[in-house]
Structure formats: structure tokens, C-alpha cells
Chain A
Amino acid sequence: MTPRVGIVLFPGSNRDIDAVNALTVAGAEPVMLWHADTDLSDVSAVLLPGGFAYGDYLRAGVIAQFSPVMRAVGEFAARGGPVLGICNGFQVLAEAGLVPGALLRNRGLRFVCREIALLPERLDSPFTREIGTQRPLRMPVAHGEGCYFADDATLDALERDGQVLWRYAAADGRVAAPEDAANPNGSLRGIAGVANAAGNVAGLMPHPEAAVEDLIGSADGLGIIRSLVVSAQEYATTGAVTGTRALAGVAG
């Protein structure tokens, strides 16, 4: 059975077609979900793509959290369904409180659009299980508000509980500190993506969906998309996702 993965389309989303392509390459059937949809019973995972939902007015992602589909996504997440937010999708999840932390304006103030190296922190989560080996992954970032922020106590807790899934890597493979040129936005502790405490909701600023084929410069993002698809498959079959138990085990 081909798992069906929903792609949420807000007014202002613009990375949805790349998400369709990436999910197709990764072996899933993409299902478009409109911001006014309230029924997610047809999909076994949800992807929130990048863009500028509702124009990013006020703060990036903040208006989108009040759309009908986000209530449904919240319920889907509460049932244990896998949800991945990419770029603006991550900002929406953070504003909705579905993942911890906030995304501030880039440290350098500029909109940054370039390739970065992403270091997976762990390979057993629902969103990294198909990456294979721990190595820097090449993929693009394209955002103006991607500086990951949380207070020190929260950052300590996220690290302790295994909720940090990805960090920006410097050329030597080590984590890129906020002031390091390899850290595109000044993210604290080099954090590029995090998961919620239960482990079934995650967001990241870089674009794995834009790096799924060598033809377009890199296929390093495919492992992340494949992970989402495998987790969708598992959720469809068993009603739960294994990687989350690994996360919860660390947290416990």
C-alpha cells in the first residue's frame, strides 16, 4: 500500500509542488489539503511546506495557526500521527506550540538563500530513520526568520530529551555556532530542527524536499522525506510510529 501524505496548502504557501515531487520520489501518494479542510482521516502523515502563509504578516507563521486545518493537524498530532514542517511550515508549528521554541529574524538581517550542511543528531527518529549514516547533508535554506531560539533551560531540556534532530554543520563537520558563517541565521547551539516531546511532530528550516534528486544538485534530503513516508506507512498500519517510542525512551 502506498502511504498517503497530506500537504497543507495555506494562502501564500509556495513550496507545495516541490513537496509533491519529493513525496512522489520517496514513494508516497501526495494529497493536497486546503487551509479550510478539517478532515485528515484520509492521510497517514502531514507535511507543512514552505512559503509565506498568510503573507507572514505580524510574524512568520502566526496567522496560519488559526486556520481550520491547523486545528485538525493538532488533533492528528495528538493522536500520534507524524507531522513534519519545513521552513515556513516549521514556523507555523512553532507559533502553534506544536514544537518548542521560536524562529527569530536572521542574525545577519538578510534573507538567506544558499546551500548549507545539515547534521542529523540522531538516526532513530520518525524523521531521520531512513538517513542511514551520520554525515552532513547538503540542501538549501531560503528564509528571513530562521534563527532558532529558546531559553537556556529549554535548550538544555531539548538536548537531554533527544528532541534536537538536526544542526547546521561547519565545513569540518562540527556543529556551527551562532556566529559561525556556516550557521545561516544565528540559530542557538546550531539548531536547525527539533521535535516535540512525544517525538511525532518535527520542524526544520532547511529544505530536504528541494534536495531529493542528483539532477537538482543534491539528493541528501531524500532520507528525511523517506523517513516521513516510512513513518506514514507505519502509522497507517499500526496506528503508531516506532521512532517516537525511541524518543520517548530517551525522554523517560
Chain B
Amino acid sequence: MIQPTRAYRFAVNVTPKPGILDPQGKAVERSLPHLGISGVSEVRVGRRVELAVAGPDADAARAVVDRLARELLSNPLMEQYEVETLDAAAAVASGAAG
């Protein structure tokens, strides 16, 4: 059976969990006075991963992203993540087997 398959685009934002020491964030914070900037605190440096997932619908694609975020893109011991939905891309493989 042939199902139309679309690609759905997401971004996964991974950040250090609250309370986890983030030396990168601290280093950024300490550099700010050199720019003449004051009053900036709580700098946390994370990672943003953008990806496109092929699937029959947005929910199925989202489920794949959630699993990916949980099992690969973040380490739940030290990081948290949130999934952002980007614009849906054009159909990539309407002839692909479902």
C-alpha cells in the first residue's frame, strides 16, 4: 500500500538541567564585563538540533523526535530538552511504501 509521506521539521533544544554546573555558561558570563555589559546572569549554554522526519502525519513524526531527544540527543541525568515544531516541509516521497 502506498501512503503519502511528508517530512516534518523540528528543532530540539537541549540545555543543562537546573542546578547542574555549566562551566560554559559561567565562562560566557565572566566575559561580559569585557564588553561593558552588566546585569546579565543565569547564562546556560545548550545545543540546538534541527531535523526533518518523514512520516504519515505530524503526530507520528513528533513521536519519533521525542524518542530521539530522550534516547540520543539528551542525557536525562544532566540535560533537559524541549521540542519545537518548525514549518512542515514539502512532500518528500509520495511514492514511498507506507
Interface of A toward B, CB cutoff 8 Å: 58-59, 62, 66, 95, 101-102, 104-109, 147, 149-151, 186
Contacts and interface: CB of A to CB of B under 8 A. Distances in A.
A128 to B, nearest CB: 25
In terms of DSSP, what is the predominant structure of the interface of chain A?
loop
B85 interface: no
B90 interface: no
A62 B77 contact: no
Interface stretch (B2-10, B19-27, B35-43, B58-66): B19-27
Given A58-B72, A62-B72, A102 B21 contact: no
A35 B45 CA distance: 32
B24 A104 contact: no
A22 B21 CA distance: 35
Interface-central residue, B20, B27, B72, B77, by most chain A CB under 10 Å: B77
B72 A101 contact: no
Interface in B72-86: 72-73, 75, 77-78
Given A58-B72, A62-B72, A109-B27, A186 B78 contact: no
11 contacts: A59-B75, A62-B72, A62-B75, A101-B77, A104-B20, A107-B21, A107-B23, A109-B27, A147-B21, A149-B21, A186-B23
B68 to A, nearest CB: 11
Given A58-B72, A62-B72, A102 B23 contact: no
Nearest to A104: B78
B75 to A, nearest CB: 6
Contacts of B21: 104, 107, 147, 149, 186
A109 B20 contact: no
B23 A149 contact: no
B78 A108 contact: no
A190 to B, nearest CB: 15
Interface residues of B, number: 10
A105 B21 CA distance: 9
Contacts of B23: 105-109, 186
Interface-central residue, A59, A150, A151, A186, by most chain B CB under 10 Å: A59
Contacts of A109: 23-24, 27
Contacts of A66: 72
Nearest to A150: B77
Nearest to B73: A58
Nearest to A186: B21
A106 B23 CA distance: 8
A109 B75 CA distance: 19
A104 B75 CA distance: 10
A106 B24 CA distance: 10
A147 B73 CA distance: 20
A109 B29 CA distance: 14
Given A58-B72, A62-B72, A105 B77 contact: no
A99 B72 CA distance: 17
A100 to B, nearest CB: 9
A58 B48 CA distance: 11
A149 B77 contact: yes
A77 B77 CA distance: 22
Nearest to A59: B75
Q: What are the 4 A-B residue pairs with the smallest beta carbon separation, nearest first?
A: A102-B77, A109-B23, A102-B78, A102-B75
